[in-house]
A = this chain, B = another copy of it.
């Protein structure tokens, strides 16, 4: 008997029929002797419907009232799911964030969980009930309803799993797991059975938006085994083992260290949301980088990759990337300080993408970077910028080369499906 937390997103809860399907899956786990806590999001579309009402009243709705309002989406979901589970003859009880004392700080719209009343939940589980908890919400010390920000239901799931010492936190979603790269870019993309928290963080932040980053961080910190799997794989009724064998998804877990079997590269992430800005011919003296970047940061624009060229006759070129929606704003800011920073020219372009190799195996394998550059060179893909971390190498290339780059790297690093052409790559 295990204690399992299952989280279902808005799509999985998107209609009465889907809610009934969720109830059926919960019943199968319960019938199999497991204790089940279910965390749910609002029915898809509901949160947007509410936000639309609020913005008809106020361009910037009061954050406290906004939380009081949007939290109702999940409250409806938990009630409906509990009704559906009870309809199948199993005890179920729904709880809002407040009702199981998911205490947060008082930062409305982006609150952080501080504690949870695990005893109240455990008592319900011990009574044989399925416990259904509203995701995304909590209460602050004064009893105000807070929300964790979009996608916060994943965090609620992980927090509950950590607080109750659950054996696993299962995130049901509309994909069947984490892939080596986006299957829309290469059909040879392969589902991973396992990935480490660190790799998942790099994959997620680089654009494989399967899981909320905070939830992965939280799971890593409390070492909660996290499984991403499909809520649409139904399995044959009555064959629980068979169903689970067919729908194991991807387990995100701790790095088990020097595992000889560990692949060097786990996946290839990419991000189209990049724009590159070049500040040409600035005097190469100390403080120039901060002179350029501080006004950008002050405007709440996130900076990603940064590159400073070698100095030539006392002048240097300074390049960096920002998210595409911030491109125009960043250029405007730089133009306004062009005189102050004594720049010769400011230009940029938005037809770039970032491609990243991610893998904990990189730590113990030399040569990943040079092999990556060689593969790209063989494909006539020019590298504009490079950045590296312990488990990641990222390059900025022209957007038109994205597919070719991902496909060739995917094959070269042995990530292709078993039924594809190239399975193992020698480093």
Interface residues of A (CB under 8 A from B): 16, 19-20, 50, 53-54, 56-58, 61-62, 64-66, 68-69, 71-72, 75-76, 78-80, 82-84, 86-87, 93-94, 96, 98-99, 143-144
With A54-B80, A56-B16, A99-B143 as known contacts, state yes or no: A65 contacts B94, CB within 8 Å: yes
A99 contacts across to B, CB distance below 8 A: 143-144
In the complex the two chains form, what is the Cα distance from A16 to B69 in whole Å?
Answer: 14
The chain B residue with its CB closest to the CB of A99 is: B143
Residues of chain B within 8 A (CB-CB) of A20 are 57
Q: Are B50 and A76 in contact (CB under 8 A)?
A: yes
A72 to chain B, nearest CB (A): 4
Bound-state Cα–Cα, A50 to B75, Å: 11
Task: Note all chain B residues with C-beta closer than 8 A to A57.
Answer: 16, 19-20, 80, 83-84, 87
Assembly stoichiometry (copies) = 2
Contact B72–A54 (Cβ < 8 Å): no
Evaluate contact between B72 and A86: CB separation under 8 angstroms: no
Q: Which residues of B have CB within 8 Å of A76?
A: 50, 53, 69, 72
Interface of A is mostly: helix
Tell me how far the C-beta of A86 lies from the nearest C-beta in chain B, rounded to whole angstroms: 5
List the B residue with the shortest CB-CB distance to A86: B62
Chain B residues with CB under 8 A of A86: 58, 62, 65
Contacts of A56 in B (CB 8 A): 16
What 5 A-B pairs are tightest by C-beta distance, nearest first? A69-B79, A72-B72, A68-B79, A65-B79, A16-B56
> In whole angstroms, how far apart are the Cα atoms of A82 and B62 in the complex?
8
A94/B68 in contact, CB under 8 A:
yes
Q: Measured between alpha carbons, how far is A174 from B165 in the docked complex, in Å?
A: 54
A143 cross-chain contacts in B, Cβ below 8 A: 98-99
A84 to B66 alpha-carbon distance, docked (Å): 12
CB distance from A101 to the nearest CB of B (A): 9
**Given known contacts A68-B94, A86-B65, is B54 in contact with A79 (CB within 8 Å)?**
yes
Residues in B with CB closer than 8 Å to A54 are 79-80, 83
In angstroms, how far is the closest chain B Cβ from the Cβ of A41? 15
Please state if A16 and B53 are interface contacts (CB–CB under 8 Å).
Answer: yes
Residue in A53, A68, A82, A98 whose Cβ sees the most chain B Cβ within 10 Å: A68
**Docked-complex contact A83 and B61, CB < 8 angstroms:** yes
Contacts of A16 in B (CB 8 A): 53, 56-57
- Bound CA span A68–B94, Å: 8
Which residue of chain B has the shortest Cβ distance to A43 in the bound complex?
Answer: B53
Residue of B whose beta carbon sits closest to that of A69: B79
